[in-house]
Structure 1
Amino acid sequence: MKPTNSQLPSPLLSMLIEEFIDSLRWSNRSISTVNSYRHDLISFLNHQECKNEFTLLQFTPDALEDYFSKKSECVKPATLARYQSSFRSFCRWLIRKDYLQKNPFDTIEGVKVETTLPKANKQEELKRLFDVIKDRKDWIGKRDLALFLLLYQSGLRASEALSLKIGSIDFQLRTIKIMGKGQVEAIVPFSSQAARAIRAYLRTREESSKRQESPLFLSYRKRPLSYRQVYTRLKEYAQQAEVSDITPHTLRHSFCTHLLTSGRNLREIQLLARHKSIQSTQRYLDLSLEQTISAYRSSEEDLEI
């Protein structure tokens, strides 16, 4: 006689979390997104006394309420909201997979997060920043100039820039093929100033490291550059230039803000930044790639450093 669901032992939550994480990998989520989900969900297990034996049957609204209540005492509202988002997705997945009939997250009160505008640096601040970078004449200075010009003048995310290969660059069309958010491939234009900087940097590279599949940005040890290294380098330059509140991502925000203040169309900026708005306005846009690149070329001088 086949046992009913009620007679089967309750599965371990740790195993279900790993199954959920595997499903995210198969859906082409970025590595950082997958790692974020796993970190958030495993933190719940670490909060439990018997984390290795914690079962789905114990995954109740009370257990979640207790967890989020204690988390709220030690993390910021924005971080707590991210944790809740991870659990909301996990619970929906459990329902879809018929592991649960009722969603334990339904009774959890969502945390309110104050909406803030993205921070952007003033152009005079960025002028000082890039002047400092240009003053460094060795290969590291040339690498950093090429990298930070791409972040600011093309609005690349740091993760996108760090995943670039030499073969990703088309100097003739002045475009880069990137793997963007959600593992979506995109073609992004770059400026003539960035092109000169990239060429100057590549001239410092050994021939053996110039293969098409070689990472574009290398560390001092000739390994792929990491985000932490990029963040640290930018902060060092910013300190010398007396520029505060800057990160690799604020360079991207500055790209969007400065294009907007220079009079560019919001739709053009949305495509150039590869944003997906809450209203999903991008699907209504009919600008072609050629028109998008043309829009960038006409505003390229506005980004000159």
Structure 2
Amino acid sequence: MLKESFLEYLRFEKNYSEKTIVSYGTDLEKFEEYFRGVDEDLDFTKVDADIVRGWMVSLMDDGYTATSVNRKLSSLRSFYRYLLRKKVVASDPVQKVQGPKKKKPLPVFVKEADMNRLLDETDFGEGFEGVRDRMILETFYATGVRLSELIGLKDADVDFSAGLIKVTGKRNKQRLIPFGEELKEDLQAYLSVRDETVSGPCEALFVRKNGKALYSEMVYLLVKRNLAKVVTLKKKSPHVLRHSFATSMLNNHAELESVKELLGHESLTTTEVYTHTTFEELKKVYEQAHPRA
């Protein structure tokens, strides 16, 4: 009866879809099968946290992913919160149970050789839009800025004499990113073409022909279209270029703390994920140095 009343609550009070309700019902049935197998005298009101943890372990042993196990635990949490509100149980056995941690996927990045091929050998066209599109790709790769940060750049944010770009990141936190002579020359060439093409004031550093600022979807699509010319990666986005920047920096012996500051990460833990992608470089060093490699 407890299961049935809970599912009715989801159907009529929460307006959940039938598919979701069936999924919740299946999770509760499987959980009941498990704890009855442990002790046939148990029911939903007598289950404790150890039983829930045991079920979680059995699911992992059966090959369920962390995502699937966490979804099933979410069903249990909703169920026991409902029983608490109805005063059917005095405590929630799922409250102190932590689900398995999901494995973070390694960042997807473009190899240095492919980025060089894109920026040095690809024909973007002579017009304003071709020059601008190449400049956007180069800026992403040379600075590691986020999509929103690039769109928000103004002319005043670029200090050519000091070789610095002022970036406004998450929560309006600002940081300075240095740039080299190549980016300086290319940016100046882009601005020259832009100012000749666009009449009137420009809203941002990177603009459309009408002087209006770019929008996210437009930049995303131009990055995807151009990356497709040199790589077959499934994911081809501005964030992939940010990953490529970080990976190239670490492959070329940059300190992790420095890369963290350049990316604008709050925690070093966030930046550490890029150290996994530099294994290819370590392997290359090993093969060159070890006599039996």
Tell me which amino acid in the other structure corresponds to 2:255. N
Write out per-residue CA displacement over residues 155-208 of structure 1, whole angstroms, 9 at most, x where no aligned residue: 111110011111211111121111112220111212322222222222123352
Match of 2:109?
120
User: For 1:132 and 1:225, how far apart are their aligned partners in 2?
Assistant: 25
TM-score, normalised relative to structure 2: 0.56
**How many residue pairs get matched?**
201
Q: How does 1:1-305 map to 2 (within 5 A)?
A: 106=95, 110=99, 112-131=101-120, 133-203=122-192, 204-205=194-195, 206=198, 208-210=200-202, 214-245=203-234, 246-277=236-267
1:252-286 Cα offsets, whole Å, 9 max, x none, are: 111111111111122222222222226699xxxxx
Q: Which has the larger radius of gyration?
A: 2
CA distance in 2, matches of 1:190, 1:278: 22
Mapped partners of 1:229, 1:48: distance in 2? 41
- Partners of 2:158 and 2:113 in 1: how far apart? 29
Any conservation in 2 of the 1:132–1:240 contact (CA below 8 Å)?
A: no
Aligned residue for 2:267, secondary structure, equals coil
Q: In structure 2, what residue type is equivalent to 1:117?
A: L
Q: 1:139–1:111: structure 2 CA closer, same or farther, 3 Å change rule?
A: farther
Which residue identity does 2:137 align to in structure 1? F
- Find the aligned partners of 2:175 and 2:232 in 1 and give their Cα distance: 31
The one-letter code sitting in structure 2 at the alignment partner of 1:276 is E
8 Å contact from structure 1 (residues 129, 243) kept in 2: no
CA 1:180–1:108 in structure 2 vs 1: closer, same or farther (change >3 Å)?
same
Residues 150 and 190 in structure 1, CA contact (< 8 A), matched pair in contact too: no
Q: Does the 8 A contact of 1:178 with 1:186 survive in 2?
A: yes
Identity of aligned residues (%): 27
Map Cα deviations across residues 96-146 of structure 1 (whole Å, 9 max, x no partner).
Answer: xxxxxx99x947864642222212111111122223555422111111122
* Contact 1:142-1:197 within 8 A present in 2 as well: no
**Separation in 1, partners of 2:106, 2:201:** 41
Alignment gaps of 5+ in structure 1: 1-46, 53-62, 70-75, 85-101, 282-305
Paired with 1:182 and 1:48, the residues of 2 have a C-alpha distance of 39
Runs of 4+ in 1 over 6 A off after TM superposition: none
Matched residues in 2 for 1:136 and 1:201: separation?
Answer: 13
- Per the alignment, do residues 185 and 119 of structure 1 end up closer, same or farther by CA in structure 2, a change over 3 Å counting? same
Give, in whole Å, the separation in 2 of the partners of 1:151 and 1:227: 14
Alpha carbons of 1:109 and 1:174: their partners in 2 closer, same or farther (altered >3 Å)? same
SS at match of 1:188: strand
**C-alpha distance in 1 between matches for 2:172 and 2:66:** 28
Residues 143 and 198 in structure 1, CA contact (< 8 A), matched pair in contact too = no
Deviation, structure 1 residue 247: 1.4
Partner Cα distance (2:169, 2:137) in 1: 17
- Which residue number in structure 1 is paired with residue 61 of structure 2? none
SS at 2:200 equivalent: helix
Higher mean alpha-carbon deviation, 154-163 vs 236-245, is at 236-245
Mapped to 2, the partners of 1:260 and 1:115 lie a distance apart of 19
TM-score, length-scaled by structure 1: 0.54
Structure 1 residues 244 and 136 mapped into 2: Cα distance closer, same or farther (>3 Å)? farther
CA 1:115 to 1:176, structure 2 compared with 1: closer, same or farther past 3 Å? same
Q: 1:249 to 1:141 in 2, by over 3 A?
A: same
- Check conservation: 1:154, 1:191, Cα contact below 8 A: no
What is the root-mean-square deviation of aligned Cα atoms in Å?
4.0
- Aligned residues of 1:177 and 1:187 also touching (Cα < 8 A): yes
